[in-house]
Amino acid sequence: MTAIEVLSGQLRERIAGNRTGARPAIWKRFLLSIAVPAGAFLLWQAAVSFGLSSGRLVPPPSRIIAALWQLAGNGELYRHVASTCLRVLFGFLAGAAAGVVVGTLTGFFTTARALVDPSLQALRAIPSIAWVPLFILWFGIFETSKVMLIATGVFFPVYLGLSTALLSVDRKIVEVGRIFRLSGLELARRILFPAVLPALIVALRAGLGLGWMFVVAAEFMGASEGLGYLLVDGQQLGKPDQIVAAIIIFAIIGKLSDGLIVSISAPLVAWQDNYKKGGT
């Protein structure tokens, strides 16, 4: 047996060991992540079951599960979830793209920052609900106004995160690139982009979170389907179990979408040598 074969066999054994060791760690993290909400649900269910609370305004988990089961049984749940997810997807893509473009311009060019940034900072302070009547006048009550409202919510954190990250890049590493005579494109690709990437990922996650918040305001604009519609319908018909069920679905798909961004971006920032990698 050659040395190469021995090394390859040891490498395969190490990879297999890492995989088997990673599975319990994944399950441990998952169980820890659901411990708090699961414990709260069990306590509230017990409080209602033993008569400590009526559960009329804040329904117990058993009623919430029954409401979800009913919505899933007649197919309404999937329709509402799909409608909301599509609106957030299109709004997120539009808002994130605009935020990256404008944030790059204001981060790179002083004149663009002086012209645009003060106005955008003022617009950023406007509450989401204040845009609703204006967007209805501009785009109507159909899908365009809803997507534009979500895109507005996503735009500002992405813009602010990227612009601030570009302004915060260490001048010394840029000087190193100039010493090696990197062109403007190579400087951006090899130095600036890796330097701002962690901040951009955080900004995208923050923008996505605001996108899920803005979709509720968007679906208040005469929507006939979506999780926001379920909230309004539950409020008008006096169904707190439906309202809480919609809120829980928001939380679940919001967490899943945030985890998707983290998973996709993890290989891009694997070069970071943070203290967690040191085993502390």
pLDDT tens-place string over residues 196-208 = 899 999 999 999 9
State which residues of the chain have pLDDT below 70: 1-23, 184, 273-280
Residue ranges per structural domain of the chain: 61-273
Quote the pLDDT of residue 204. Answer: 95
Quote the pLDDT of residue 223. Answer: 75
The alpha carbon torsion through 176, 178, 184, 190 (nearest 10 deg) reads -20
CA dist 15 and 20 (Å) reads 9
H or E element at residue 154: helix 143-167
This prediction's pTM? 0.82
CA dist 62 and 275 (Å) reads 43
| Neighbour tally for 170: CB within 10 Å | 10
> pLDDT of 99-139, one tens digit each?
999 999 998 888 999 999 999 999 998 887 788 888 888 88
Q: Which two tokens stand for residue 116?
A: 């645009």
CATH superfamily of 61-273: MetI-like (1.10.3720.10)
In this structure, are residues 158 and 99 in contact, taking their beta carbons and an 8 Å threshold? yes
Q: Tokens 């329709």: give the residue.
A: 79
Quote the pLDDT of residue 22. Answer: 54
Q: Tokens 């920052």: give the residue.
A: 113
